[in-house]
Structure 1
Amino acid sequence: MPLRRSLRLSCALLPSALLLCTSVAAREVPQPAEHVDADGPYVFLTAKGREAEWVCNDHVVRRTLPARDDASVVLPECGYPHPLHVLSPRTAEVAQYPATPRIVAVSDIHGQYGLLVTLLRAHHVIDAQDHWSLGNATLVVAGDVFDRGPQVTEAFWLLYSLQQQAHAAGGAVHFVLGNHETMVLYDDLRYVNPKYLKSAQLLGRSYPALYGADSVIGQWLRTRPVLLKIGDTLFLHGGIAPDNLDLVRDMDSTNATYQASVGLPRDQVKAAPDSARLFDGKTSPIWYRGYFDGQMDTAQVDALLGQLALKRIVVGHTSMPHVSSFHGDRIIAIDSSIKNGENGELLFIEDGKLSRGLLDGSRVPLAEGTMGLED
């Protein structure tokens, strides 16, 4: 049965005299797919150690993995094509770092693993075997691996593996949570690719339970930040509204509250006094779009950055055709519509200089942003 949608059109006149129309979709959860070619692994902690599960051509494959010291090696069956080194749970990631000479950033992968690999290979972030090759540089992923596309599992394992490899090379990979991570984990499945609902059926769990606290990727997600500061640049998925400056000033507390909320019921996190603001669908750090829809002009953005002692804010969430500069390089939008599965771009920050990397491996200046919104 196809996904049913009802649409309404909302328009607003911006100060720039541009008419902004946004399509707001009321969606239902899709029906599970009829077939799963390849998905996995999903790795869970058990009384005996760890267990890996795959769905290969609609057939469930399970393998017990006795823990060896701190890690287990998971060899591929189907789905993610590379061996994995699965580590014991880690503590929450530090979210404030000194400036580093080279940062590469990307956002809103939405299950488009193949396109992500092509883009990272083209710019030598990874090599032909998909191993980290950026040395002591830093890769930041600004949320939204979940939903829409057909290779969410593979994308998560790639980032999980690259984080280990980058650390060993003196570099870093940071993943900050997006709104679709929180949505899936509190059981909002309107955007889930039907393939994964079928996988969940075959594996005997709900889809959120495949990323539960007993799963390796689920545990990893529960230690990711929402706010990440490197030097004078703030990375997050949505944006910081003027009323939420305190969330950045007390970044460690903000991240800890998000992490403690991951996987709790939606109604609970939206109602609880300590987390309601963090999940507000219009103003929270994982949802805010005010830099692009006329809520804030350049003077207001400049004032906000000054109050936070930042040079720029880098965000995903609001889809653009290119990695784009807004408000005089104060806001950099890096959701380059990878979710469509056709194209994508990287942001480079090298000794303070900004550029974007294209799918063919070339580097060009940032695009000049134009007002517009897309979920």
Structure 2
Amino acid sequence: MNRMPVEPPRIPRRNTGVTPSPPFRDRLMALSTNLRPAAWTRSGIAGGATIALFGWLLACAGAAGGADEVRAGAQDYRLSGEFGLSVHQVGDSIVVRWMTDALVEGSLEVTTGAGDVVHRDATEAWTSHRSAFATPAEDSIQLHYGDADARHRTWIHLAERDPRPVRITGVDSLFVMADIHGEYDQMVGILQNAGLIDEELRWTGGERHLVALGDMMSRGAEVTPVLWFLYRLEREAEASGGRVHIVLGNHEIMVMLSDLRYVHYREMWLATSYGLGYDRMFDPRESILGRWLTEAPAMLQVDDILLAHGGVSSDQLAFTVESHRDTLAAYMAEDLFHRWGDTTAFFDIDSITFNRRVDFFWGDRSVFWYRGYSDSDTLTAELDSVLEHFDSRIHVMGHTPVPGIREVYDGRMILANPLPLGDEILLLVRSEEEGRWRGERFRAEGPPLPLEVGHPEG
């Protein structure tokens, strides 16, 4: 059996204006000089160990550099309800973890859709709580959790679902929200102003479609409630004839592969309070949210609009949107994916097969990372070949922050990741007369704005 060490990911370096918290980042960067081997190679073992350790150190650096500071800082954030909820299915049991705002006894009641109680528990006085029970036969259950005075409700769906569709037709209004990065309040404000949710945060978008174009995770403080919100909204929209489509970005992949360098300390503190590693919070094998994320594709086609978190480079022309989804699902089901950061693991895998997965998840021309179209205005031929292959008229991507959602390449490409992060949402409306799409952007307040035009200077 041959050991294939997991090498440091070839992550494209770019200054996005958002970095892990100094000064601890600088201190650990200096420390990493002593940890880094002389050369990172595909055949060396040290690289995998270094990146796993270095990612953990940087994640700790983002936690403001000390347990007391982290604990004090976390208290400045909301933690109860879905802001602190974690649910896992471990073997034949469901394990629920939740937070309360004070040192009080916790309360959990679990009901079926018919209202039958399948589990009831009271936990000892503390701020973090845990309760486990046998997995019920029902496809969906509702959690009623918190303390005796404050009860939150969250539906959990246990039944396996068919693969999400990646080719959608007959859409007249398409909203695209890229790079939320844990900015919960900003996300809610924009969706309300766009008329997609009401004051109770329920779907009011009717038959409209909303795409969350990757990078829901990392950087921001409230990733966990962002994910629970979208988890619920997806089902509400579908019940109303609309759809919420989740597309994976590089930061979802990074967390699931144990690269935690950009995780906010509130999120790290939450996992630590539960005795979990942060990547375990979203473990695709056991975490309810982790499983839900791994159902998502990395490319989506809505009529003649091609969407991906990073740009779709010409390296992807061997795929269809369906075959890319299926390849992603197959790779994420492998033991290699789940133990990517485990430098003690042994895998019976040849170098060609291994490197194919490295390029798929970490390559700078993969759909998670490619920035060519956002960084250059000279790739017309490549973009046109991609649009022709996928039978599309417009390509929408996030990933690269730009000052205002904008059209480039004469409207054939839309850059949908605004600065500040999560500040705008894209709306594309089909023109019945011309058969084309008209674009505008919403912020949390005010009327819609026209799209910016052209690559940003500098």
Q: TM-score range by the shorter chain?
A: 0.7 to 0.9
AA paired with 2:209? T
Q: Which moved more, 1:359-368 or 1:114-123?
A: 359-368
Distance 1:325 1:232 in 2: 16
Give 1:46 shift.
4.1
* 2:340 alignment partner, one of 233, 248, 265: 265
Counterpart residue number, 1:255: 328
Q: CA RMSD in A?
A: 2.8
Match for residue 206 of structure 1 among 270, 277, 294? 277
Structure 2 portions without partners, runs of 5+: 1-21, 31-54, 64-69, 102-125, 431-436
| Residue in 1 that maps onto 2:201 | 130
**Does residue 1:278 correspond to 2:356, yes or no?**
no
Change (3 A) 1:34 1:366: same
**CA distances 1:181-208 after superposition (whole Å, capped 9, x unpaired):** 0101111011011122222222111110
1:108 touches 1:142 (CA, 8 Å); kept in 2? yes
Runs of 5+ unmatched residues, structure 1: 8-25
How many equivalent pairs are there? 351
Name the CA distance, whole Å, in 2 between partners of 1:281 and 1:176: 18
The residue number in structure 2 matching 1:22 is none
| Higher-Rg member (1/2) | 2
- Tell me how far apart the structure 1 counterparts of residues 324 and 259 of structure 2 sit (CA, whole Å): 26
Determine the structure 1 residue equivalent to 2:293. Answer: 221
Matched position secondary structure for 2:375: coil
Q: For residues 247-266 of structure 1, what are the alpha-carbon distances to aligned partners after superposition, in whole Å with 9 as ceiling and x for unaligned? A: 34633433334543654405
TM-score between the two structures when normalised by the length of structure 2? 0.70
Distance verdict in 2 for CA 1:275–1:164, change over 3 Å: same
Q: Determine if contact 2:300/2:308 at 8 Å carries over to the other structure.
A: yes
Q: Which residue of 284, 287, 290 corresponds with 2:369?
A: 287
Aligned to 1:4: 25
After TM superposition, give the deviation of residue 34 of structure 1 in Å: 2.3
1:346 maps to a residue whose letter is: I
Range 251-260 or range 95-104, more displaced: 251-260
Q: Which residue of 1 aligns with 2:429?
A: 350
Deviation at 1:84, TM superposition (A): 1.5
Matches within 5 A, 1:1-375: 2-5=23-26, 28-31=58-61, 32=63, 33-35=70-72, 36-37=74-75, 38=79, 39-46=83-90, 49-57=93-101, 59-64=127-132, 67=136, 69-77=138-146, 83-88=153-158, 89-212=160-283, 213-248=285-320, 250-260=323-333, 263-265=338-340, 272-294=354-376, 296-339=378-421, 344-351=423-430, 352-371=437-456
Conserved in 1, the CA contact under 8 Å of 2:403 and 2:456?
no
Kindly indicate which of the two structures has a greater share of residues assigned to helix.
Answer: 2
* TM-score with structure 1 setting the length: 0.85
- Taking the aligned partners of 1:108 and 1:263, their CA distance within structure 2 comes to 24
Task: State the identity as a percent.
Answer: 28
Q: What is the alpha-carbon distance in structure 2 between the residues aligned to residue 324 and residue 82 of structure 1? A: 39
C-alpha contact (below 8 Å) 2:306/2:390 kept by paired residues: no
Amino acid at match of 1:255: L
- What secondary structure is seen at the aligned counterpart in 2 of 1:30? helix
**Which secondary structure does the structure 1 equivalent of 2:259 belong to?**
coil
AA in 1 matched with 2:388: G
In 2, distance between residues paired with 1:82 and 1:107? Answer: 28
Letter in 2 for 1:353: R
The alpha carbon displacement at 1:143 in A equals: 0.4
**Shift of residue 145 of structure 1?**
1.1
- Secondary structure at 1:272's aligned position in 2? helix
The separation in 1 between residues aligned to 2:384 and 2:273, in whole angstroms, is 51
SS of the aligned residue for 2:217 comes to: coil
Match in the other structure for 1:14: none
Alpha-carbon distance change, 301 to 146 in structure 1, aligned in 2, over 3 angstroms: same
Deviation at 1:281, TM superposition (A): 3.7
In structure 1, what is the Cα distance between the partners aligned to 2:418 and 2:449? 14
More divergent stretch after superposition (52-61 vs 140-149): 52-61
Does the aligned pair in 2 maintain the 1:292–1:372 contact within 8 Å?
no
Q: Once the 2 structures are TM-superposed, how far is the Cα of residue 2 of structure 1 from its aligned partner? A: 4.2
Structure 1 residues 371 and 364: CA distance shift in structure 2, 3 A: closer
| Superposed displacement of residue 329, structure 1 | 1.2
